[in-house]
Amino acid sequence: MSLSRAESETILSPFLDELWDCVTVAIERYRNLPSEYSSVFSKRTRSSAIADLMYHQAQSGLASRPDVRFQTLRGQRFIMVGDAFKMRLKKLDENHRPHNIPTQQVLDFLHQVQPQLPGFAEPLTNLFVGYRWNLLETAARGVYVVCPNGDWNAWVLEIQPRTASVSTPVAQPQPTLDKPGRRVVPKVDAEQQEQTRRGG
């Protein structure tokens, strides 16, 4: 039985920034490829390239976490988070569903067939982490965590953008140094000036 959205969001909360980066950094890296390469890619090749970049970013951002494990099984790559989730990184359609060749391994994942894995106390909940394109397929419309339940989704959680970007440094204001010997006089408002003039 898969975990509910509320339970999952609580457990995933410490990982959401890294999951956001897995998707958005990968898409940005793909968009920065020289156009003579990316312009000739089919949609399938593009999706595969972004999937590879997402997994690479996940390894960079999450590999140092002791509660994250990576696994490749029969050509499919998975990320295990905590003792709760087994994730795949995918492009999603308008119904927040991935497009897969329906092998038995894929069908088991979609239907939450959860074998007991060595090192885990309970069966894991299968999740997709992925993106939907905007109408022109030029940028991600959103980043989502999706819990599949057979032909439908049990729930969908949209990941919000990072609250603070770690890749874009913010310029700090530099202190203004007065010239030597310059006296700084505080501003006096008009009412105070009038009171001073009248002797008040």
pLDDT per residue rounded down to tens, the chain (200 residues):
789 999 999 999 999 999 999 999 999 999 999 988 888 999 999 999 999 999 999 999 998 899 999 999 888 999 999 889 999 999 999 999 998 888 999 999 999 997 766 666 678 999 999 999 998 888 899 999 999 999 999 999 999 987 533 333 333 333 333 444 433 333 444 455 555 455 55
Q: How confident is the model at residue 96, as a pLDDT?
A: 96
With respect to residue 88, please indicate whether it lies within any of the assigned structural domains.
Answer: yes
Evaluate whether residue 50 is within a structural domain: yes
In a domain, 185, yes or no: no
- Two structure tokens written together for 91: 């492009």
Half-sphere CA count of 48, side-chain side, radius 13 A: 8
pLDDT at position 122 is: 75
pLDDT in the model for residue 129: 97
Q: Which residues of 186-195 are buried (b: 16+ CB within 10 A; e: fewer)?
A: eeeeeeeeee
**Tokens 């990320």, residue?**
79
Structure tokens at 52: 């590879």
Asked whether residue 12 is assigned to any structural domain, the reply reads: yes
* Nearest by Cα to 20 from 164, 176, 173: 164
pLDDT of residue 181: 41
The amino acid present at 200, given as its one-letter code, is G
CA 116 to chain CA mean position, Å: 28
Q: Domain span at residue 147? A: 5-159
Query: What is the predicted pLDDT for the residue at 184?
Result: 36
Whole-prediction pTM: 0.76
Asked if residue 183 belongs to a domain, the reply is: no
State the pLDDT at residue 139: 87
- Please state, in angstroms and rounded to a whole number, the distance separating the CA atoms of residues 90 and 12: 18
Distance CA 2, CA 112 (A): 7
Residue 52 lies in a domain: yes
Tell whether 91 is covered by a domain: yes
- Is 192 contained in some domain? no
Q: How many domains are there within the chain?
A: 1
d(CA 198, CA 200): 5
Task: Give me the pLDDT at residue 178, please.
Answer: 42
